[in-house]
C-alpha cells in the first residue's frame, strides 16, 4: 500500500489533492487543524468511492505536539509515506503599514515554519529509495511580490528558498522535492487574504484599484482540482522537476520575472494600477 500525507485538507487545494491521490490508489492521511471540519472531504470521498482509502487525522502545523502524535501514529502502524504534501497555509493580505507584527508572525508560523516543522518531523518516515516525494504548495507569490500581499509573498519566497536547498540536500538521499506555484484559484484562501484589505481605509487610487484587481482575481479563479491533478501527477513521476507553475498566467509570469528587467516590470504594474482610476 502506498501512503500519502496531506496537510490542510478541510478545503481547497488540500482537500482536492487528498481526494485525487486516493483516486490514484494512495491511502491518504488527510490532516487538518480541526477534525470537526471533515464533513465535506468525507462526503466527497464517499461520492468518489474512495472513503476506504482516507484517514482523517488532527494536525495543526504550528503545534509540534500535534506533529508528534502524527509521527507516533505512523510508527505504531509501521507506515512509510511515499508522498508528503505540505499544503496548509493562508493568505494574510493587507497594506504593509497596516499589518501588525503578530500578523506577520502568524503568517510565517503557518506558511513557512509549518512546512519546515512538518517535513523535519516526518522525514524519517519517507523512504530513501528514490520513491519518496515532498511536494510543497507555494504560489506565484513565491517569485513575484504583489502589492498588498507583502506578508504572504515573503512567506512564500522563504518557502521557495528553503525548497531549493532541501531539493539539493535530499536528492543525495533519494527523496524528490518539488514546488507547485498556483496562480489564482477558487479557494477559501482569498477570504482571509482580502478580508484585511477590505477593512483598511483606502487612501488613494492605487490602493483602490489594487483591491478591485484582487477581487477580480478571486472571482475569476480557476478550478482548484486542476492543482490537485498536477500534484497527483508529480507524485507518480519517477524523476519530478523542482518547480511547477500552474494556472492562468503563471508560466508567463515566471518567464517574465526571469528575463525582463525589474524596471520594466514595476513600471508596468504601477501604470496598470495607477491608470485604472474610476472616472
Which residues are known catalytic residues? 152
Residue 109 and residue 62 in contact, taking contact as beta carbons nearer than 8 Å: yes
Q: Cell 462526503, residue?
A: 43
The strand pairing partners of 31, in sequence order, are 57
Q: In terms of Cα–Cα distance, which of 111, 187, 183, 96 is closest to 148? A: 96
**Which DSSP string do the residues of 82-100 spell out, in sequence order?**
SEEEE-------B-GGG--
The upper half-sphere exposure of residue 26, i.e. CA atoms within 13 Å in the direction of its Cβ, equals: 27
Dist CA 138 CA 111 (whole Å): 9
Rounded CA-CA distance 172/128 in Å is 9
Q: How many CB atoms lie within 10 A of CB 190?
A: 21
Amino acid at each position: 500500500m502506498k501512503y500519502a500525507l496531506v496537510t490542510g485538507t478541510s478545503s481547497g487545494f488540500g482537500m482536492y489533492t487528498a481526494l485525487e491521490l486516493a483516486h490514484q490508489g494512495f491511502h491518504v492521511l488527510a490532516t487538518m487543524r480541526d477534525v470537526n471540519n471533515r464533513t465535506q472531504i468525507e462526503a466527497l470521498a464517499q461520492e468518489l468511492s474512495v472513503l476506504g482509502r482516507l484517514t482523517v487525522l488532527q494536525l495543526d502545523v504550528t503545534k509540534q505536539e500535534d506533529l508528534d502524535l502524527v509521527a507516533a501514529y505512523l510508527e505504531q502502524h509501521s507506515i512509510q509515506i511515499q508522498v508528503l504534501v505540505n499544503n496548509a497555509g493562508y493568505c494574510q493580505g493587507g497594506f504593509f503599514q497596516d499589518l501588525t507584527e503578530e500578523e506577520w508572525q502568524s503568517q510565517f508560523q503557518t506558511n513557512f515554519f509549518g512546512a519546515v516543522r512538518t517535513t523535519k518531523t516526518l522525514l524519517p518516515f519517507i523512504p530513501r529509495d528514490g520513491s519518496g516525494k515532498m511536494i510543497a504548495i507555494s504560489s506565484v507569490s513565491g517569485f513575484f511580490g504583489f502589492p498588498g500581499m507583502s506578508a504572504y509573498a515573503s512567506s512564500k519566497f522563504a518557502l521557495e528558498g528553503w525548497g531549493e536547498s532541501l531539493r539539493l540536500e535530499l536528492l543525495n538521499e533519494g527523496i524528490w522535492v518539488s514546488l507547485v506555484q498556483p496562480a489564482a484559484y477558487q479557494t477559501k484562501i482569498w477570504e482571509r487574504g482580502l478580508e484585511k484589505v477590505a477593512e483598511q481605509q483606502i487612501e488613494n487610487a492605487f490602493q483602490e484599484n489594487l483591491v478591485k484587481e484582487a477581487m477580480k482575481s478571486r472571482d475569476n479563479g480557476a478550478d482548484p482540482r486542476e492543482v490537485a491533478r498536477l500534484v497527483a501527477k508529480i507524485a507518480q513521476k519517477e524523476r519530478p522537476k523542482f518547480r511547477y507553475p500552474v494556472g492562468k498566467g503563471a508560466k508567463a509570469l515566471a518567464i517574465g520575472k526571469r528575463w525582463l528587467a525589474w524596471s520594466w516590470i514595476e513600471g508596468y504594474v504601477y501604470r496598470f494600477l495607477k491608470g485604472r482610476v474610476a472616472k
